[in-house]
Structure 1
Amino acid sequence: MATAKDIVGILLAAGRGARFDPAGARNKLLQALPGGEPVAAASARALLAAVPRVVAVVRPEDCATASLLHGMGCEVVACAEAGKGMAASLVCGVQHAQHAEGWLIALADMPFVRPATMTALVREIRQGGEAAIAAPMHDGERGNPVAFGRAHLPALLALQGDQGARSILKNNPVNELAVVDPGILQDIDTPSDIK
């Protein structure tokens, strides 16, 4: 059973996906990957394998994604401010789970991240340490998801704009974990990214 002191997964699923389909007719999070699983479901499955509790942040009008993620066991939160950028969704999710010991912030359009990578990030935050931020590195490049310890709650709640938590990463020590996981760098931006 999850407790308030656990690390909570925050799955950001409130983007519009305009690069995937500028007309807005196809929701990229519901598109099937080569194995048939929807993009958001694969992302949620990996996150659920690493943490006992996942808060999925969606747009209020995106009932299909909300239903899919709720059915997988995620707590779904509709973010009325999602149109203001990624930071608004991130703040919404962290506020919903603000009593947690830390947060693993994952993106719903990154379905190729390995559960083992997420588990390693969570382990790092649970162990404490000076950085209280853990980010994965693959071939010298930093990717997602990123884990934050409780010390960063005020900074997370103060975020604004479409840069997510980049300002926190830029202005604080980050424990960079080397992983053999190209999925930390692969998001679904266009239909060709699915293959």
Structure 2
Amino acid sequence: MGGPNKLMALFSDRPLIRQTVERALAAHTAGIIVVTGHQAERIEAALSGLNVRFAHNPDFASGLSSSLKAGVSALPVDAAAALIVLGDMPGVTTDDLNRVIDAFTADSTLPIVRATHNGKRGNPVLLPRSVFPVISLLQGDTGARHLIENERENVIDVEIGVGASVDVDTRDAMARAGGVLQET
């Protein structure tokens, strides 16, 4: 986006990152790891008092793959999966997260679960432990999309609505989503 930190934009007088993490904490998750990068101290301060662990990604400027790897490597050894929730998607609700989690737990094949909007792939995604080794090989500004596309036979799409496709990567997108950027 350039300029102000989009994760600190206010939605209902709360920073977007706090709103996102609070929703994840209210979902059927076993724990939350927040991967920090740019302005890590501000993000940690915005999440003060919440029961989360932090994993700092010093290579955040190299792209999304480094944050994904940092988060997965910080998981407990007995984690069956990782629910990847992007911090800049204000429309994803706790119910949406639970629908993704429930689809995973209801299927004994331990699938990849991907949120969709009108059949179009989006976020969040839930990745089973079986794909963690492949995540360690990702490079650059790419997430798990290619990994998911290669696992077509074991991917479940869960329709969650518009929240799966709305991120706030531009000032216009932020304004349309109802966020107020903070200049400092």
Aligned to 2:56: 78
- Partner Cα distance (2:110, 2:150) in 1: 11
- For the residue of structure 2 that corresponds to 1:162, the secondary structure is coil
- Partner Cα distance (2:173, 2:20) in 1: 15
The correspondence of residues 25-40 of structure 1 with structure 2, limited to 5 A, is: 26-33=4-11, 35-40=12-17
CA offsets per residue over residues 84-121 of structure 1, 9 Å max, x none? 11000000010000521100001001121011111111
The answer on 1:122 being equivalent to 2:101 is: yes
The 8 Å contact of residues 128 and 149 in structure 1, kept in 2 or not, is answered as: no
Q: For residue 25 of structure 2, what is the amino acid of its counterpart?
A: L
The offset of 1:131, in angstroms, is: 6.0
Distance 1:71 1:169, change over 3 A: same
- For the residue of structure 2 that corresponds to 1:170, the secondary structure is helix
- Partner Cα distance (2:53, 2:157) in 1: 29
- For the residue of structure 1 that corresponds to 2:47, the secondary structure is helix
Aligned to 2:182: none
Q: For residue 117 of structure 1, what is the amino acid of its counterpart?
A: D
The 8 Å contact of residues 125 and 148 in structure 1, kept in 2 or not, is answered as: no
Aligned to 1:110: 89
TM-score normalized by structure 1?
Answer: 0.81
Q: Unpaired runs of 5+ in structure 1?
A: 1-18
Q: For residue 176 of structure 1, what is the amino acid of its counterpart?
A: D
The offset of 1:60, in angstroms, is: 6.3
- Partner Cα distance (2:105, 2:134) in 1: 19
The offset of 1:70, in angstroms, is: 4.5
The correspondence of residues 26-65 of structure 1 with structure 2, limited to 5 A, is: 26-33=4-11, 35-50=12-27, 51-59=29-37, 61-65=39-43
The offset of 1:126, in angstroms, is: 2.4
The 8 Å contact of residues 117 and 164 in structure 2, kept in 1 or not, is answered as: yes
Distance 1:70 1:54, change over 3 A: farther
CA offsets per residue over residues 56-83 of structure 1, 9 Å max, x none? 0011642011222243222111111211
Q: For residue 65 of structure 1, what is the amino acid of its counterpart?
A: I
Q: Unpaired runs of 5+ in structure 2?
A: 179-184
Aligned to 2:181: none
The 8 Å contact of residues 7 and 87 in structure 2, kept in 1 or not, is answered as: yes
| Paired residues, number | 171
Distance 1:70 1:148, change over 3 A: farther
* Aligned residue among 128, 131, 145 for 2:124: 145
The answer on 1:177 being equivalent to 2:158 is: yes
Distance 1:72 1:193, change over 3 A: farther
Aligned to 1:159: 138
Percent pairwise identity: 27
TM-score normalized by structure 2?
Answer: 0.85
- For the residue of structure 2 that corresponds to 1:143, the secondary structure is strand
The 8 Å contact of residues 15 and 46 in structure 2, kept in 1 or not, is answered as: no
